[in-house]
Structure 1
Amino acid sequence: MLWTRRHFIKSASALTLSAATPAFVRPVLAEDGFLEITAGPSRQRLYQEEGALSDLWTYNGFAPGPEIRVTRGERVRVRFVNNLEEPSSIHWHGIRIDNAMDGVSGLTQEAVPPGASFDYDFTVPDAGTYWYHAHNKSWNQVARGLYGPLIVDEEEAAFDREHDLTLVADDWRLSEDETLDTASMGSLMEWAHAGRLGNWLTVNGLPHPKFSLKKGEAYRLRLVNASNARILELDPNRFGGRIIAYDGQALGRAETLTYAPFLLGPAQRVDLIVVPESDFALEELSGDSPFEFATFKVSGNGTASGEPVLPAPNAIPEPDLPNARRVRLDMTGGAMGNLENITYQGRKLAREDFRKTRQVWAFNGVANLGDDPLFAAKPGETILIEVLNNTSWAHAMHVHGHHFKVVKRSGAQADADPPWRDTFLIGSGQTVEIASVADNSGKWLFHCHMLEHAAAGMTSWFEVA
């Protein structure tokens, strides 16, 4: 039996941890200067400090894996070693990276076999909050713990390390014995509905961690949603948090939200500035009452005077909207949706095919990486993609290798100055238009980051050549 929301809230209220500020495991530095990130099985407590150990797949023995921290413009060299029982690869989410280093199995590289390794070598052009995760059978490998943060600092960092906190949130599906439920992974019902939703939240791999802050000093909180499918409902106004970056892209200002809740979809990130005066908590608000999943203990009197200079936006080319080329993407399929006219591997699927192929979603009638790209763009061309969600479920759409702006959203007023994003949420029945400049050559993935949806057909690609 899976726990109910009441179990979820009641159990968490009794948990405390001795660690004040959870730390990430360290990457291993090889003799040739590469950071070694090793994927393999490990055991980790998810539910409580002295509880049962779950069998996970992790990077360097813990989930999340090592925090990779570099400076904008710096070269990143990572040797991925695969000690798993199945092939894998690493995708560097949100980085405008060289295409050959993007880590997408079957599109930009072959998956790394068990016992083998692959060297990733790239330069990071933009400061911000990013992350890395497995990109082969992601619905399985990410759910077991294969992810970690990638932080790119500005040349003159606005916050020192003591005041710059990375918070990687994940929801896990736990069984009654407090261990990760792996038996339910791959359920076709999950794939055709909302995706894999957990019943337990951790931050930096720990249940209900506590962080120690100083009163009156400014902190940067970098929130990463590493969940397979859960949309976190938050309200930064409850503790005076203001947004300074979306998906790693700095606004150049601190923005106070005028609505609640704030939705942080799978793979999305948000950076907050907080000047605490008293204890506060991160709370998930989708249930009947707020659920605290991380607490911040505030003590003493801060010594900082005023707020730091906020990070400036990255230099990303602005879309030329009057001359943009329009591309249409029609989402169909899923439970309670239109399963007619879905083509997979060149063949139209009949009703009896869906259980065998497990392909139940489609983009423009095609499931899962058709032979032809969604579009082919010339370098420097502005592309405007109109996305229509003709399904019964919300989706978190991620564009590889590029950043974009949401220029239109049905049922909502368009932002006068929309922020740069690499992942956007689209509700059932909604239409969203995004625009970007195709300035990164190669074949790039465009997919739903509800990872079960991607595996079940919501994956396409485009080419810049």
Structure 2
Amino acid sequence: MKSYPDHKGNRISRRDLLQRGASAGALSLLPAGLRAATEARVPLTARNASFQLAPSGYAATGIWGYDGGAPGPEIRVAQGGRVSRRLVNELPQGTSVHWHGIRIDNAMDGVAGLTQQSVAPGDTFDYDFVVPDAGTYWYHSHDRSWEQVARGLHGALIVEEAEAPDVDREEVLILDDWLLNPETAQIDDSFDHPMAMSHAGRIGNYVTTNARFDFSRPVRRHERLRLRLINASNARIFSLQLNGLTGWTVALDAMPLPAPVPVEQDLVLGPAQRVDLIVDITAEDGETAYLLRRGGDNRPVSQAAFPVSGSASRARRAPPAPLPPNPRMSAPDLATARRLRLVMAGGAMGRMDSALLGGERIGFRQLAASGRFWAFNEMAEMTQEPLGDLSLGELVRLQIVNDTVFPHAMHLHGMHFRQVRADGAASPMRDTLLVAAGETREIAFIADNPGDWLFHCHMLSHAASGMMTWVRVT
């Protein structure tokens, strides 16, 4: 078993480290007045439930949901506030909760097998952490996530700015797809199917917004809305358009842009990515405005409808102001950055002949028989050693080479990054980057959060079949 030095130089096991970080160690940092409050955390119960997912006339769908809902309960907190939840596992298998995008304490990151033990059926785990950054986040299972997220284990986590933008109201829109049996409306249980593992991932046949196929909200002409869009699907890439709406992108993956950017072309949202929009309703009274997605035949179909009735004002407002920046958003000087490289290989129609699995190099056919179709740097499983062993505060440039014929949504836990552009311009901060087939991208980040942090493809079937690694910050 791995061991780590504590603050006195003594060696302790990972298990002891996790137990300290998740219990007494975390509580000892709290002011006395807050300790009692954390002892009575709000339960977040992962359990079986029946949910009317398909249209009326179909049977209710059996899902796994937080508190039995789809999506799970929205968690909303002010910037700088605390999230305290007690995960209660009523599922037939182990689970955990990852708080996606939050620059969080490592012991609270929720990655079973890396930052905590899996929470066994009937057991509980206490999550308690401060949210330093405002923005749109989400939470989801991170144990057998390719199955558990597909069954419904996810929800929105919203961190509100101290100074709210000038909007009339906001809508949190969780975009998802479900793979349902068209006869029974039950979730297809072929989670480990080689086609999903080796191709584009598990793509659903039933697309929803907030678990509804016909999502609709009434609006007024010239009303101004904030739309918080979250792609919670296992693998679907959403290509979105505005119709009857004039909009601006104001944040990506929770990080505010320096200035609002007008939406003039399709918005591409990969798995796990988020975008915050401010939109004005420009459709006429009696018409319907739409958030559209490109369907399988590339024709636009409704993702969310906004029927217009009445008017909020005679004229539109001036363009919106930018959101207030989060802490630690300055663009780094890359001159002294440490360079790392990650090569993605494998998948159907790929060129990977062999890779390492269990310490042995084996051929692709044997890898496929073991359920491993992908590799990072010729490793078809989670490595014992990190991709990078980094010092706290170290600046990193990571080149990502996609030597496959499929796109991959690469997610770094615990830290945000910027894409390094050829022209040297500073790109927006993100926590998930969509890397197209055959593409090479480079990201830069400051290793400013200590711990062991997962870096993986958020096409969840890809992660399960080889596309996972990690970095250590000490």
CA distance in 2: counterparts of 1:50 and 1:169, whole angstroms = 23
**3-state DSSP class of the match of 1:210?**
coil
Q: 2:144 aligns with which of 129, 137, 142?
A: 137
Deviation at 1:235, TM superposition (A): 2.2
The answer for the alignment partner of 1:91 in structure 2 is 98
Q: Could you tell me which amino acid in structure 2 is paired with residue 311 of structure 1?
A: L
Deviation at 1:311, TM superposition (A): 1.5
The answer for the alignment partner of 2:111 in structure 1 is 104
The answer to whether structure 1 residue 315 and structure 2 residue 320 are counterparts is no
Contact 2:194 2:371 in 1 (8 A): yes
Contact 1:344 1:370 in 2 (8 A): no
| 431-440 or 340-349, which deviates more | 340-349
Deviation at 1:176, TM superposition (A): 1.7
The answer for the alignment partner of 2:441 in structure 1 is 432
Closer/same/farther in 2, CA of residues 86 and 159 from structure 1, 3 Å limit: farther
Closer/same/farther in 2, CA of residues 204 and 159 from structure 1, 3 Å limit: farther
Higher relative contact order (CA 8 A, sep 6+): 1
Closer/same/farther in 2, CA of residues 271 and 414 from structure 1, 3 Å limit: farther
**3-state DSSP class of the match of 2:327?**
coil
Question: What does 1:287-366 align with in structure 2 at a 5 Å threshold?
Answer: 287-288=296-297, 289-303=299-313, 306=318, 309-316=321-328, 317-366=330-379
The answer to whether structure 1 residue 272 and structure 2 residue 277 are counterparts is yes
Q: Which runs of 5+ in 2 are unaligned?
A: 1-36
Q: Could you tell me which amino acid in structure 1 is paired with residue 110 of structure 2?
A: G
The answer to whether structure 1 residue 400 and structure 2 residue 413 are counterparts is yes
Contact 2:419 2:426 in 1 (8 A): no
The answer for the alignment partner of 1:25 in structure 2 is none
| 78-87 or 32-41, which deviates more | 32-41
Contact 2:242 2:292 in 1 (8 A): no
Q: Which runs of 5+ in 1 are unaligned?
A: 1-29
Closer/same/farther in 2, CA of residues 136 and 166 from structure 1, 3 Å limit: same
| 192-201 or 209-218, which deviates more | 209-218
The answer to whether structure 1 residue 387 and structure 2 residue 400 are counterparts is yes
**3-state DSSP class of the match of 2:363?**
coil
The answer for the alignment partner of 2:41 in structure 1 is 34
| 452-461 or 284-293, which deviates more | 284-293
CA distance in 2: counterparts of 1:51 and 1:57, whole angstroms = 18
CA distance in 1: counterparts of 2:426 and 2:213, whole angstroms = 37
Closer/same/farther in 2, CA of residues 153 and 362 from structure 1, 3 Å limit: same
The answer to whether structure 1 residue 375 and structure 2 residue 405 are counterparts is no
The answer to whether structure 1 residue 442 and structure 2 residue 442 are counterparts is no
The answer for the alignment partner of 2:260 in structure 1 is 254
CA distance in 2: counterparts of 1:414 and 1:188, whole angstroms = 40
| 217-226 or 248-257, which deviates more | 248-257
Deviation at 1:77, TM superposition (A): 0.5
| 319-328 or 46-55, which deviates more | 46-55
CA distance in 2: counterparts of 1:165 and 1:159, whole angstroms = 14
Deviation at 1:309, TM superposition (A): 4.3
Question: What does 1:409-428 align with in structure 2 at a 5 Å threshold?
Answer: 416-428=425-437
Deviation at 1:301, TM superposition (A): 1.8
The answer for the alignment partner of 2:200 in structure 1 is 194
The answer for the alignment partner of 1:151 in structure 2 is 158
Q: Could you tell me which amino acid in structure 1 is paired with residue 343 of structure 2?
A: D
Closer/same/farther in 2, CA of residues 327 and 351 from structure 1, 3 Å limit: closer
Deviation at 1:375, TM superposition (A): 0.5
CA distance in 1: counterparts of 2:272 and 2:423, whole angstroms = 23
CA distance in 2: counterparts of 1:257 and 1:237, whole angstroms = 11
**3-state DSSP class of the match of 1:342?**
strand
CA distance in 2: counterparts of 1:326 and 1:313, whole angstroms = 28
Closer/same/farther in 2, CA of residues 98 and 354 from structure 1, 3 Å limit: same
CA distance in 2: counterparts of 1:222 and 1:178, whole angstroms = 32
The answer for the alignment partner of 2:11 in structure 1 is none
Q: 2:246 aligns with which of 240, 248, 269?
A: 240
Identity %: 46
CA distance in 2: counterparts of 1:339 and 1:166, whole angstroms = 41
Contact 1:237 1:256 in 2 (8 A): no
CA distance in 2: counterparts of 1:180 and 1:387, whole angstroms = 38
**3-state DSSP class of the match of 2:95?**
coil
CA shift digits 1:300-329 (9 cap, x unpaired): 221596566442121224322111111010
Contact 1:345 1:370 in 2 (8 A): no
CA distance in 2: counterparts of 1:62 and 1:227, whole angstroms = 16
TM score, norm. by length of structure 1: 0.89
CA distance in 1: counterparts of 2:367 and 2:111, whole angstroms = 25
**Paired positions, count:** 430
Q: Could you tell me which amino acid in structure 2 is paired with residue 224 of structure 1?
A: I
Contact 1:343 1:349 in 2 (8 A): yes
